[in-house]
Structure 1
């Protein structure tokens, strides 16, 4: 299994914000599918391209093919409450986000964490882990 480190405002593993489509394909191989300007690689690593075909957002869903690490923590295998706590040590999340609870957006370094379900209580197993993490270029979440 590959390990990809998140470097906010910069990269997820070998994929850097600002790379061309060709450069991304060179490091990840051909995409499994394309939906408009969103290319999907490794069955869960998505790269969105801007109008100049440069990578503007990199999103990683949970996968058996790779591990996504932020500050030494596996984003998809660390409980959501712990990830929020860890990332909040660097910056506070957007408390005005209309999807707060499902998503946590840290605007100063353009990082998002997302899950489809919010646990109803401590014994609820659903929603305990984030399903997706993404980074964008400066100003992406403005």
Structure 2
């Protein structure tokens, strides 16, 4: 697995590949990573590295997202010396609160948080609480046995965040 170190407010370092920094142009990124599997005017997708990179109106890199959580297949992301996808959701939130301080966007919690001081965002489609409620309702409705495999898989996945992104300073302001 390729180690990708996320450095908030700076960029990423990909082991044995190189460093991508905020402010780089798409061509500069391509010099390091090669041709993306998909691109448009403002995004590059490197599915083999499980990355999405966004560019601003000046065509400079402003956001990098690991898109493969909580179970990346080809990469090992590292943020503050830990793999953020190995942490339980509440553990990752606590770590980011510790690193960020008080300026946090909770408006889409518990599925999504934006830590404004460090420009880090985390996302999961559904929270553990929501899946637990779905399990309770399925049991009450008599559909649990039919949906059990899907519900238990979703429950396990919901215990972690699914994507993590870092942006340049003030990205989330």
- Tell me if TM exceeds 0.5: yes
Task: Choose from 101, 104, 125 the match for 2:156.
Answer: 125
Tell me the equivalent position of 1:48.
54
Give the structure with the higher percent strand. 1
Number of aligned pairs? 141
Equivalent residues of 2:89, 2:159 under 8 A apart: yes
Tell me the equivalent position of 1:97.
106
**5+ long unaligned stretches in structure 2:** 14-18, 133-151
For normalisation by structure 1, the TM-score amounts to: 0.89
- 3-state SS, counterpart of residue 12 of structure 1: strand
Structure 1 residue 46: Cα displacement:
0.6
Structure 1 residue 4: Cα displacement:
1.0
Tell me the equivalent position of 2:7.
7
Q: Which moved more, 1:2-11 or 1:43-52?
A: 43-52
Tell me the equivalent position of 1:75.
84
Give the structure with the higher percent helix. 2
Supply the RMSD in Å over aligned alpha carbons.
1.8
For normalisation by structure 2, the TM-score amounts to: 0.74
- Computing the radius of gyration from Cα coordinates, the structure with the larger value is 2
